[in-house]
Chains A and B, each alone.
Chain A
Amino acid sequence: MISPGDVGGDPLTEEIVELTGLLRRVVGRRVRDREAVDDIVQETLARLLAARTRLDGRAIGPYAIVTARNLVKSQWQRADVGKRHEHRLADTRDPVRPDEPLLEQEEAEAIRIALDRLAPRERDVLVAHVVEGRDTGSLADDLASTPGAVAAQLGRSRAKLRVEYILALEGEPPTRQCRPVLLSLSAGDRRRQGELDAGYHLLDCDFCASMSEPLFDRRAKATADEVRIPVTVDADVVVARQRGREVAVQAGFSATEATVIATAISEISRNIVRFARRGEVTVTILTDDGASGVLVVAQDAGPGIPDIDLALQEGHTTYGGLGLGLPGSRRLMDEFEISSEVGRGTTVTMTKWHRR
């Protein structure tokens, strides 16, 4: 059970809890039983809290409404199934159904179709990692890339695979907007969700409304060891480095190494505040072949960096006479990558591996 008293001061969390009144109205219009209304509202809040770090602020309200509606719908279905089976006194949760083999065949076909829809290079890397068990380090060697970048790419490929798998099962979506919206939700890419107005699309489009939750549920399980910190003001820089330090300690880093990681996070978060005004930092625990590490991704939708080489030069003046932000974090971390597009934004990806 979730009550407003259980959750902390996180503004996004507060916003979700404030949705309670709205949710009661949405569910109350469809369900008579007060107890059932409470259950559905609670369940909706729980799912929202689990998904909150993956949602653009404007998408929270629409996502809440869509989730509540889906829960109401599935409750009706359950009640319906229960009625149909009453006379047989059978356990309605009995997993063996006559159409089971057919379903399996359908699912295998859906996975094949979904894999076909990935770019060949993307597919090869994903298959090598998931099926052949290759770790990101050896894949990075093959691809002349870094383990951090390979891990980030694998995340994007998985997100795409989830979307294509569900579309292969459910059929092509009704609008052109659907696929990119589902992809942004599956990838937890809040910047893209904002660009696409994903929240409004969910309210408009029944198809995506029913698809969005399965996408989120899988994603939430896959990323328990991850924190996402929105960065807009000075104080967020401190929050980002403190949360990042916690993740680093959780990943097994010593106090000194965790401070080094926190320092690098501090530098790149400050860059977001100064140059982009709005962005976010994600810190994820990496595990590969017995080694552990952290992946830090700082993403913003700011003006972009016209000359990355110049920005990476030590002593290049970015503020107050010191320009150690980017080159400094590069020195502190094992891997460092920056991609930037003028007018679109900047993404810094950095990794540190735990040495034993």
Chain B
Amino acid sequence: MFVSILQQGDFLIASIHAALDDSELMRFQKDVMAEIANHRAKGVIIDVAALDVLDSFGSWSLRNLVHMARLRGATTVIVGIQPEVAFSIVELGMELDVTTALDLENGLEYLESVTTGHRAGKSMLGVLGSHDT
């Protein structure tokens, strides 16, 4: 399994666990969109900590995903971008133009702050953390 998409209340946590090629990225995009529709998700966290490289196509498809999710009423935050990957995106001349957070916990805090009427319990964070490793 290179990717996983888990539901946590109104949110989805979509994690990429390995370097993905272009077609895998496209499938990931499609799967996340389908899950947003299935679960009527209000927020999505995309964890890209395991991505080795975010080149022009990777950045473009992430940005696309965020924009499409927004059209479906879901707020998305990207977490776990490695410092060297971030540096390369800037050097490449890309503007990722998406909301990012350091890690899952910060990502969840962000989603909670922008979506109303939902509170994520701390215990849930623990479960997600152990799943992620």
**Proximity string of chain B (78-100) to chain A, C-beta cutoff 8 Å, 1 when within and 0 when not:** 00001111011001111000000
B110 within 8 A of A: no
**Proximity string of chain A (210-245) to chain B, C-beta cutoff 8 Å, 1 when within and 0 when not:** 000000000000000000000000110110011001
* Shortest Cβ gap from B56 to chain A (Å): 4
Residue contacts A-B, CB under 8 angstroms, 13 given = A238-B21, A256-B87, A258-B84, A260-B84, A263-B88, A267-B55, A270-B55, A320-B64, A322-B60, A324-B94, A327-B93, A328-B93, A332-B92
Check if B21 sits within 8 Å of A235, measured CB to CB: yes
| Closest residue of A by beta carbon distance from B89 | A263
Return chain B residues, CB-CB under 8 Å to A342.
none
Check if A328 sits within 8 Å of B55, measured CB to CB: yes
Please give the residue numbers on chain A whose beta carbons come within 8 Å of chain B beta carbons, in ascending order: 234-235, 237-238, 241-242, 245, 255-256, 258-260, 262-263, 266-267, 270, 273, 314, 319-322, 324-325, 327-328, 331-332
B133 within 8 A of A: no
Task: Using A256-B84, A259-B87 as known contacts, say yes or no to A331 and B93 having CB atoms under 8 A apart.
Answer: yes
**Given A260-B88, A324-B56, A328-B92, 13 other A-B contacts at CB below 8 A?**
A234-B21, A234-B23, A238-B20, A256-B87, A258-B84, A259-B85, A262-B53, A262-B88, A267-B55, A267-B92, A322-B56, A322-B57, A328-B93
Return chain A residues, CB-CB under 8 Å to B53.
241, 259, 262-263, 266
Return chain A residues, CB-CB under 8 Å to B61.
320
Please give the residue numbers on chain B whose beta carbons come within 8 Å of chain A beta carbons, in ascending order: 19-24, 52-57, 60-61, 64, 82-85, 87-88, 91-94
* Shortest Cβ gap from B64 to chain A (Å): 8
> What are the nearest 8 A-B pairs in CB distance?
A324-B56, A259-B84, A234-B21, A256-B84, A266-B55, A263-B88, A328-B92, A234-B22
If over half of B's interface residues share one DSSP class (helix, strand or loop), that class is named, otherwise mixed; here it is helix
Return chain B residues, CB-CB under 8 Å to A324.
56, 92-94
If over half of A's interface residues share one DSSP class (helix, strand or loop), that class is named, otherwise mixed; here it is helix
Q: In the assembly, what is the distance between CA of A255 and CA of B87, in Å? A: 11
